[in-house]
Amino acid sequence: MKTAYLFSGQGAQYIGMGKDLFEQESIVKQTFEEASDTLGYDMQELIFTENNRLDQTKYTQPAILTVSIAFWKVLTDKGFQADALAGLSLGEYSALVASGAIDFKTAVSLVAKRGAFMENAAPKGTGKMVAVMKTPIETIEAACQKASEYGIVAPANYNTPQQIVIGGEVAAVNQAVNLLTHAGVKRMMPLNVSGPFHTQLLAPAAKQLAKVLADIEFSPMQVPVISNTTAKIMPQEKIKEILTKQVMSPVHFYESIATFKELGIERFVEIGPGKTLSGFLRKIDKSLSVSRVEDRKTLEETEKRLNEE
Cα gap 90→105, rounded to integer Å: 15
Cα gap 298→305, rounded to integer Å: 10
Cβ contacts of 137-146, under 8 Å, gap ≥ 24: 137/161, 137/164, 139/180, 139/183, 139/185, 140/164, 140/166, 140/180, 143/176, 143/179, 143/180, 143/183, 144/168, 144/176, 146/175, 146/176, 146/179
Rounded alpha-carbon distances, angstroms, from residue 245 to 194, 199, 258:
19, 10, 21
Cα gap 157→131, rounded to integer Å: 9
Instruction: Name every residue whose Cβ is closer than 8 Å to that of residue 187 and which is 6 or more positions away in sequence.
Output: 132, 133, 134
Examine the residue annotation and report whether 182 is marked as an active-site residue of this protein. no
Active-site residue, from 198, 227, 249, 252:
198
Q: Residue type at 21?
A: L
68 close to 271: Cβ distance less than 8 angstroms: yes
DSSP 8-state class, residue 102: S
Examine the residue annotation and report whether 198 is marked as an active-site residue of this protein. yes
Active-site residue, from 68, 89, 94, 227:
89
185 close to 279: Cβ distance less than 8 angstroms: no
Environment class of 233 (CB within 10 Å of its CB; exposed 0-12, middle 13-18, buried 19+) = middle
Cα gap 140→81, rounded to integer Å: 38
Largest Cα span, the chain: 56
Catalytic residues: 89, 198
